[in-house]
Amino acid sequence: MGKFLAVLNGAADDADKAEFTEQQRSEFMNAWAAWAQKNQHALVDPGAPLFRKKLVTAQGVEDFTDSKTGYAIVEAESHDDAARLFRDHPHIALISGNSIEVLECPPIHA
């Protein structure tokens, strides 16, 4: 079994996000909970939203923004299997242009 990091990318800007009603937010959270329950066998960490971002470089630390809105960590037999877990994730259907990156996290051998 391999470990994979899923990074959720959002296409919405702040104005788009402000247009969501409470009902739409609730429906999304219910769909996300159903997806998590369906895939609980593979979830190592169900993830969380990504807010307040800091970029650390040799020059210092600064605030930044990007399209990354959340993450999850799963285990699967292959990279393709891990990616298939996210084909019906509600994040993809929330806004046209949303996407999910699935990155392999191989073990580090000392």
| 3, two tokens | 């470990």
Helix then strand count (H, E) for the chain reads 4, 6
3-state percent breakdown (helix, strand, coil) of the chain, nearest 5: 30, 35, 35
pLDDT score, position 14: 66
Mean pLDDT in residue range 17-34: 88
pLDDT in tens, 72-106: 999 999 999 999 999 999 999 888 899 999 999 99
| CATH homologous superfamily, domain 2-104 | Dimeric alpha+beta barrel (3.30.70.1060)
Please check whether residue 74 is in contact with residue 85, taking contact to mean a CB–CB distance below 8 angstroms. Answer: yes
What pTM value is reported for the model?
0.88
